[in-house]
Amino acid sequence: MKPALVPVFSNIGHTYAHMFTILYATAVLHLPSVFNVPYGELLALSSVGLVLYGVGALPAGWLGDRWSQVGMMAVMFFGLGVGAIVTGLADGTFEIFIGLSLMGLFASIYHPVGIAWLVANARKQGMTLGINGVFGSAGSALAPVFVGVMIDWGSWHAAFVVPGIAALATGGVLVVAAWRGWVQDIHTDRTPPPPPEPGAVKRVFIVLTMTMTCAGFVYTGLTNTMPKVFEAGLGPTLAGSYTEIGFFVGAVIGLSSVSSMIGGWLADRYSARTIYIVCWFLNVPPLLLMTSYFGVSLLAIALLAMMFNTGFAAAENMLVARYTPFEWRSLAYGAKFVLALGIGGVTVHLAGALHDMSGDFDLLYVLFAAAGALATASAMMLPRSRPVPLPG
């Protein structure tokens, strides 16, 4: 086995999972003129796929523990490819709904399986997860830029078909690597964490249930509504085309990925609990203010909101790993992402309904800020613990 290839395939998988699940968030700005259907109704077509993105994580995690991590990753790549191509070749809303649902279902494999696979291979879990977070953010950043360019200079169909072909090719490379013995399942932690304190596991489970639900609500809402918020808030001077809207959304998400590495670096050296609480607390003000600003100020507020939202990801994943036995690790991550991502479908459906009723997202972002405040209060109930010593 070549251990260096594990993060390669895991990080690529993270990029794809985030990219494929928000391709539609920018494409849907253009589709009302194609299908003569309101924006909110079209946005809601992605809701089932986003629910499956979360709900599917639980059986995916169980299969990762009981069957094969590598096998499940290959299934993810092939499934994402098929779902994207179905969406891209659609000539009606029903086919789009089917394709988006398939992408959500197969993307659900990544977080419980790919992250557990990566954590087991890592020497420095915080930094490894931080770098992995950058790849996830890169997927979210690339999606709106790529879709905008495809719509303005090519076809919205290509915005899904081209990534679909790339995913199928990646799956094929992974199968070859597994067949050659270059990658394989990992059955024990490379750097085992210290045992948790007595009675801490149940407490952590309850607290993280609350905070991860809030995380899914806020993150999914941000990434899926930001294109529309920028379309209205930046105006034709800054964002007069889909390419420009996509560029600004991608720039904000891409720049925010730096906080993922910083958060991972800090979580290796200090308390993951402290990093988690501070990032949640700092996330509340920009969420509350985001729909009240315009132009460059809006970009700055959006960047802060995304930075603090991604800054705690490594700390959160370290907390899950610390308080979960290895043999249930993928299942635990599956349960986490059922909460964090499964609520995404509800978020998108709510966002579309609120926008069609009021013409804006003001109330939605107040709800995001309230969720951030609730998560901050909940995170303060996590048990205190010393950071895991870094390997020499």
Coil, helix or strand for 238?
Answer: helix
pLDDT in tens, 225-257: 998 899 889 988 888 888 888 889 889 988 888
Give the residue from 220, 223, 193 showing the smallest Cα distance to 344: 220
Looking at residue 135, what is its pLDDT? 92
Which structure tokens are listed for 263?
């958060």
> Which has more pLDDT, 360 or 279?
279
More confident residue, 96 or 198: 96
Contact 281, 344 (CB under 8 A): no
Give the contacts of 5 (CB within 8 A, at least 6 positions apart): 177, 182, 183
Report which of 248, 225, 6, 13 is spatially closest to residue 128, judged by C-alpha positions.
6
Give the model's confidence band at 162: pLDDT under 50 very low, under 70 low, under 90 confident, else very high.
very high
Residues 18, 178, 341: CA angle, nearest 5 degrees:
20
| Dist CA 92 CA 281 (whole Å) | 43
Q: What is the pLDDT of residues 47-79, one digit of tens each?
A: 889 888 888 888 888 898 889 999 999 999 999
What percentage of the chain has pLDDT greater than the value 90? 43
When the pLDDT of each residue in the chain is averaged and rounded to a whole number, the result is 87
Q: Which residues contact 134 (CB under 8 A, 6 or more apart)?
A: 257, 258, 260, 261
Return the pLDDT at 190: 62
Consecutive H or E run containing 27: helix 5-27
Q: What is the pLDDT at residue 111?
A: 86
- Residue spans per domain, the chain: 5-379
Architecture of domain 5-379: Up-down Bundle (1.20)
Distance of CA 121 to the CA centre of its chain: 21
CA distance 52 to 382: 29
- Model's pTM, two decimal places? 0.76
pLDDT of residue 389 exceeding 70, the answer is: no
The CA-atom distances, in angstroms, between 283 and each of 61, 302, 366, 371 are 29, 10, 12, 10
Mean pLDDT, range 264-283, rounded to an integer: 90
Average pLDDT over residues 209-218: 87
Span 311-349, pLDDT tens digits: 988 888 888 777 776 666 677 677 766 766 667 678 888
Q: Is the pLDDT of residue 353 over 50?
A: yes
